[in-house]
Amino acid sequence: VTGEFDAIAAIRATLPGPPAGETWIGDDAAVVHAPRGDWLLLAADTMVAGVHADLSLTGLDDLGWKAVVSNVSDIAAMGGDPVHVLVTIAGPPGTDLLALYRGIASAAAAYGCPVVGGDLANANDLVVTVAITGVVEGAPVLRSGARPGDAIWVTGALGASAAGLRHYRSNAARAARHSELDELLRAHARPRAAVAEGRAARLAGATAMIDVSDGLAADLGHLAEASGVGFALERVPVAAGATLAEAMGGGEDYVLVFTAPDDRKVIRAFRGLREPERIGVCTGSSAERSLEGRPLVVSGWEHRW
Amino acid sequence: VTGEFDAIAAIRATLPGPPAGETWIGDDAAVVHAPRGDWLLLAADTMVAGVHADLSLTGLDDLGWKAVVSNVSDIAAMGGDPVHVLVTIAGPPGTDLLALYRGIASAAAAYGCPVVGGDLANANDLVVTVAITGVVEGAPVLRSGARPGDAIWVTGALGASAAGLRHYRSNAARAARHSELDELLRAHARPRAAVAEGRAARLAGATAMIDVSDGLAADLGHLAEASGVGFALERVPVAAGATLAEAMGGGEDYVLVFTAPDDRKVIRAFRGLREPERIGVCTGSSAERSLEGRPLVVSGWEHRW
């Protein structure tokens, strides 16, 4: 057990420092160059140990990684690029802050959004809150611009995170965890944010976009509701080893779903990236939610209040 | 008990909406006009019920107010102006989110920094995390620029918040709470951030500045350490009804402490505002921490890790 200021000094030593002229950790606020461009993107997400992550299955470093990536994914879902993050940790004395920060620092480095400040406070629960800034060239892609007739695309297969969690919960996978970490376990413990794909979707003329954090059905439902359209899905790409239910309702895949009127423009914009999959179409019946012609029961993760 | 999305809709109805072209609550990230100016300020602070606020003494609305004001104060301590806040709440089902948001919305309106986004998640503890953006014209005032010979100033009397907490803890004050809320109780429940004063200090050529959140002795100690100077205090303005110990170690006053080489420039810059008080001088002996010629024992709030 150590004091807050020693803990901050130890954390700071593990993180990159600011460029000349900027001030990051260690003052009342971080001072960063004002971003160029017309728009600043701002988002914040919280991860609660025991709610968003089972620490008997995955590590504190994985929790730190996911807390950053879930925010990066929010910026990606606007077609933007992440710039800086602030990390706030409330937790009990004895929490291995350096393990948590290993994951935070890895994700911040992977996505080019350094940690410039934050806060530490004591609480019984471990609560990791990340706030992020992002920038976007031109107009950001909102949830609300989809029109009837637009095609619906996803940037990858779905359900891997939920299937990974299922595997973690089996003892066999737990034993194999460190030596044979497969794609599904990794998808759950170390999800990726689709920043390049979000940018490509924006350049392809995407009319609306959202990231799949609560489940495809629920998140596409949010997009459809914000846009005032319905949707008819023809097929959904299910990750190898995952079930259709995991793909539709599992969440935390951080795949992007977007709508766009021009298929050829989409294919062109994604050259050099993994090709997105066209999964259906927006319809003019705003209440429509269907898969292969059958009504879809929408369920997804929701906190209780 | 309601769902997360209904709760968000209810909260959103209590908050002002965005100007044309901007998107606030309800998308993956908020879209705001990129701030003009050279520098963007970023900070985040967490308030944990039971640690930073005793909910048997003060209300959820007060906790919401304080969570915003502690962040505004961080921007003020750089000589900047707050622009936007993100509010993230982790807490148990049944938490009166609308009471909490009454305080958040009041503070956001009072300081001109609207809530543009955030997150809600379940946890056992109630943890309110606010992230803030700010702007500053010209150079921000860091903690590290104080030089030997600079005078030390505070923007108000100290100890009121700690004295207010002491009064709340007495039964008499608890009974009188709603009808006779005096200055001290208010200082504890509804502290103010010194934004205009921070701006004036910057214009007065302040060389270093910090807000008093952990106690004058501790926070001035952080400034002195960052600047490599010592300090000799001649006197400390104690709020009416507070003790010297409360002034030196109580914290949460959100008064600003700054250093500046030119007294007349300070007096001039604060015209129209409450005049700051000159409490001492920075010295070249970097280990010096004294009050009225006697060594000062520095103690202040620190979380345990």
Mind listing the pLDDT tens digit for each residue in B253-270?
899 999 999 999 999 999
Tokens of A200: 């490509």
Checking if the pLDDT of A63 tops 60, the result is yes
Name the amino acid, one letter, at B58.
Answer: T
Section B288-298 average pLDDT: 89
Checking if the pLDDT of A1 tops 70, the result is no
**B36, B39, B77 member nearest A33 (Cβ):** B39
pLDDT for B180 equals 39
- Nearest by Cα to B89 from B126, B137, B58, B59: B126
* ipTM score of complex: 0.91
Minimal Cα–Cα distance from A298 to chain B, Å?
Answer: 14
CB-CB under 8 Å, B38 with A34: yes
List the end-to-end C-alpha distance of chain B, in Å, as a whole number.
34
Residue tagged 């993107």 (tokens): A41
Checking if the pLDDT of B21 tops 60, the result is yes
Degrees to nearest 5, angle at CA A203 with B84 and A45 = 35
Burial label for A192, CB within 10 Å (0-12, 13-18, 19+), is buried
CB-CB under 8 Å, B127 with A125: yes
Higher pLDDT, B223 or A184: B223
Whole-number percent of chain B with pLDDT over 90 = 70
Cβ contacts (< 8 Å) between B302 and chain A: which residues?
A: 3-5
Cα→Cα distances B128→A129, A171, B254, B270, Å: 10, 36, 18, 34
Mean residue pLDDT of chain A comes to 91
CB-CB under 8 Å, A34 with B34: yes
pLDDT for A174 equals 57
3-class DSSP state for residue A109?
Answer: helix
**Lowest mean pLDDT: which of A122-136, B42-56, B173-187?**
B173-187
pTM of the complete model: 0.92
- Nearest by Cα to B251 from B196, B191, B194: B191
Residue-wise pLDDT for A251-281, tens only, equals 788 999 999 999 999 999 999 999 999 999 9
pLDDT for B283 equals 98
Checking if the pLDDT of B199 tops 80, the result is yes
Cβ contacts (< 8 Å) between B73 and chain A: which residues?
A: 28
Task: Return the residue of B nearest to A117 by Cα.
Answer: B43
3-class DSSP state for residue B235?
Answer: coil
Residue-wise pLDDT for A158-207, tens only, equals 998 888 888 888 865 555 554 434 788 888 889 999 999 999 999 999 99
Please list, in sequence order, all residues whose beta carbon lies within 8 angstroms of the beta carbon of residue B50, skipping any fewer than 6 positions away. Answer: B125, B126
Residue-wise pLDDT for B150-159, tens only, equals 999 999 999 9
**A4, A34, A38 member nearest B40 (Cβ):** A34
pLDDT for A182 equals 74
Name the amino acid, one letter, at B284.
Answer: G
Neighbours of A155 (CB within 10 A): 26
pLDDT for A175 equals 55
Give the DSSP H or E segment for B120.
strand B115-122
